Each structure stands twice: as C-alpha cells, then as structure tokens.
Structure 1
Amino acid sequence: MCAASQIGALNRQGMRACAMGDLANASFLLHQALRQAQGMGLEGFIPKLRNNLGLILALSGRTEDARLAFETALAEAEARWGGETRLHASIRDNIIAVSAAPGPQ
C-alpha cells in the first residue's frame, strides 16, 4: 500500500472509531496518520487530519484544544490552497461550533 493510501486508510479507520464512540482509538489512529503525513512530507493531508482530530477533541469535551486544532488546520489549509474550499468552510463551521459550546473553554 502506498503512503497516501495508508494515511487515508488510517483517517477512515479513525473516523469510523469516532462514529462508534471509541474516541481514544480514533485519536490514536488519527495521530498516527498525522505523524506519517508529516514525516513523509504529504502536506495535503495535514489540514484534514487536524480538523478530524479537532472533532475528536470537541467530542471529548476538550473545547479549547479542539479550537486550537481547528485554527491550526484552517491556517494550514489557507497556506496550502489559498482560496476557499469545502474544507475551509467545514473548519470554519467547526471553529464556530466549538466557540459556542457551553462549559469551560
């Protein structure tokens, strides 16, 4: 399996684990994917992976960490692709949602 396919597979497995409520495993898989993408210089994966990690953090109640992950993902997406993409819009929506979340920030 090529590196990009492996990173994509880890991302999908992580999001499946998230959907099943296994946030610890989801976080582990997404961190693995992120480390591999960074190590191999596959920068195109990084904003999406950080966004997905932000979702895990938000679901875990770690809203401040989630907001930071989303803001980092957005900055990386803007640096990589410049203009507006669906990912940009999704990340912005996630920042708004986590900023409006009740409880300690």
Structure 2
Amino acid sequence: MCGFSNAWKLNREGMAACNEGDFDKAEENILKAINLASCNSRKIHRATMYNNLSVIYQMSGRINDAVQAYGTAISYLNPSHKGQAALIARMKGKIESLKDIAA
C-alpha cells in the first residue's frame, strides 16, 4: 500500500530527528519514507529522500553509507533536466568531498 503523504511526514520527522542528533530514529524514518514513496512517487522525490538519508549518514559519521546514498539519489535524477543536472553536480561534489574524508 502506498502512502505518499505519510512518506513526506516521515521524511520531515526523520530530518527533525537528525537535527536533534537522534540518527537512529532519523535513519529509521527516512527508510520507512523511502519504502512508502517507492510505489507512486516521482523519481525526484525518491532522490530527495536518498539525499536526506545521505545527510544523516554523513552527520553520524557513516561516510561510506553517505556516499552510497548519494549515488542512489543521483540514479533517480535526469541529467538532461537543467535543474536536476545541477543537483547531480552538487551531489557528485559531495561524494568527492566525502571520499577525501574517508581516505
């Protein structure tokens, strides 16, 4: 069963938990949101949620997980779309920065 409005609610709650430093709750909420949104959301919405997941991983020190989540977010974006191409470029920049940290 799809629950897109519930997915966005979980996404917001996940980011609020992240801002409070509760990374476990944040991850749990975002993963639930991704699962709820996967059946009927636009790819840009899933990319946004994976981007948020990567932020949670980055803030909690899980650099490799953050890189992987950014990669998944990028896979949902269209490089031919001007706005999405800019997002891809920013995310690729973040990936490179994180790889430098992990090295």
Normalised to the residue count of structure 2, the TM-score between the two structures is 0.80
Q: Quick one: which amino acid aligns to residue 95 of structure 1?
A: I
Measured at CA, do residues 10 and 87 of structure 1 come closer, stay the same or move farther in structure 2, by a change above 3 Å? farther
SS in 2 for 1:41: coil
Alignment correspondent of 2:15: 15
Q: Quick one: which amino acid aligns to residue 18 of structure 1?
A: C
Pair 1:82 & 2:76 matched: no
Q: Quick one: which amino acid aligns to residue 67 of structure 1?
A: V
SS in 1 for 2:14: helix
Alignment correspondent of 1:27: 27
Instruction: Tell me how far apart the structure 2 counterparts of residues 3 and 89 of structure 1 sit (CA, whole Å).
Output: 30
Which runs of 5 or more structure 2 residues have no equivalent in the other structure? none
Pair 1:49 & 2:49 matched: yes
Alignment correspondent of 1:95: 95
Q: Quick one: which amino acid aligns to residue 92 of structure 2?
A: R
Q: Quick one: which amino acid aligns to residue 53 of structure 1?
A: L
1:48 and 1:87 in contact (8 A); partners too: no
Measured at CA, do residues 84 and 95 of structure 1 come closer, stay the same or move farther in structure 2, by a change above 3 Å? farther
Moved segments of 4+, more than 4 Å: none
Give the superposition deviation at 1:90. 4.1
1:54 and 1:70 in contact (8 A); partners too: yes
Q: Quick one: which amino acid aligns to residue 42 of structure 2?
A: E
Measured at CA, do residues 82 and 8 of structure 1 come closer, stay the same or move farther in structure 2, by a change above 3 Å? farther
Which runs of 5 or more structure 1 residues have no equivalent in the other structure? none
